[in-house]
Amino acid sequence: MSAHLVLIDALNLIRRIYAVQERPFLFNNELAENTKKQVLFNTQKACGQALTKILEHLQPSHVLAVFDSEKPCWRYELFPDYKKGRKKMAAHLAACLPDIQDELMKQQVDSLIPEEDEADDIIATLAIKMALKDQNVTIVSTDKGFLSLLGPHIGVYDHFNRRHLDTNFVLSKFNVKPQQLMDLWTLTGDNTNKIPGVAGIGQVTAAQLLNQYGSLKSILEATDIKATLANKLAEHKEQIALSQELITLKKDIPLGFNLKDIRLSS
């Protein structure tokens, strides 16, 4: 029997829901102490309601909410400026995460909190393992990085805009195929995670190069690229290698559970 696994990028969902719940109570970009408890309660309930809608729409056989490790992941060791400047999760929201996990569990959805990995890498590993067995996976997230995994058995669903993101979406937004996205962002950089690219190469140029040569490897090996571009690539050779490693999702993380552990009972 064919399975349909839904993988929820938990912090992506929770942080966006929290931002909506917090907004009406903000004053000078601060949240009063006496309203934090109410905002957290509203967030917890809204996460449960969002999960109900996700389950009703996607009709999965298996579901898992995947969180980031509480420890800094391996990318920080390679590149200390990874995600530099990104606003940290509010301490009161971080303290409430176990309550939100309990809220999800009311609908039989367990949470996975890895010891040292980012949710992105865990989700990519699970998605690829399922796809290789011809089983279907839907990733619930607004994180663009998951678009690189799109394929016959892997889909991405944006719960907030109620839309399935597919190959046509990627082509219209980035002008490359899903499997070329990691190469695109290696060249342009990933500003969301503060990963630098090649100075002077933007999305248009990067997409043109990938459409002409097919892959970053072929671009770097090409002998007919105009001199100015070839010089930029040569000057940023080490940066390209580092950025590619940082951007690429791991797909081989050991997982310590069985699919039957996250099956929804009918």
What's the topology of domain 4-170? Rossmann fold (3.40.50)
Measured in whole angstroms, how far is the alpha carbon of residue 76 from the centre of its chain?
Answer: 17
pLDDT at 15: 97
198 known member of a binding site: yes
Provide DSSP, 161-217.
TTEEE-HHHHHHHHSS-GGGHHHHHHHH-BGGGTB---TT--HHHHHHHHHHHSSHH
Residue pair 49/94 in contact (Cβ under 8 Å)? The answer is: no
Instruction: Give SS3 for 250.
Output: coil
The predicted pLDDT at position 44 comes to 98
- As beta bridge partners, residue 163 has 158
Question: What is the pLDDT, as a whole number, of residue 179?
Answer: 96
201 marked as part of a ligand binding site: yes
Structure tokens at 15: 């942080």
167, 177 in Cβ contact below 8 A?
A: yes
Gap between the Cα atoms of 52 and 200, Å rounded: 45
Q: How many CB atoms lie within 10 A of CB 164?
A: 12
Note the pLDDT of residue 1.
Answer: 63
44 DSSP assignment: H
Question: Is position 126 annotated in a ligand binding site?
Answer: no
Q: Which residues of the chain have pLDDT under 50?
A: none
Cβ contact 230:195 at 8 Å: no
Q: Please, what CATH class does the domain formed by 172-247 belong to?
A: mainly alpha
Enumerate residues 6+ apart whose C-beta is below 8 A from 152: 131
Q: Print burial letters for 92-101: b (CB count within 10 Å at least 16), e (below 16).
A: ebeebbeebb
Axis-axis angle for helices 91-105, 33-58 (nearest 10): 40
The domain locations on the chain are 4-170, 172-247
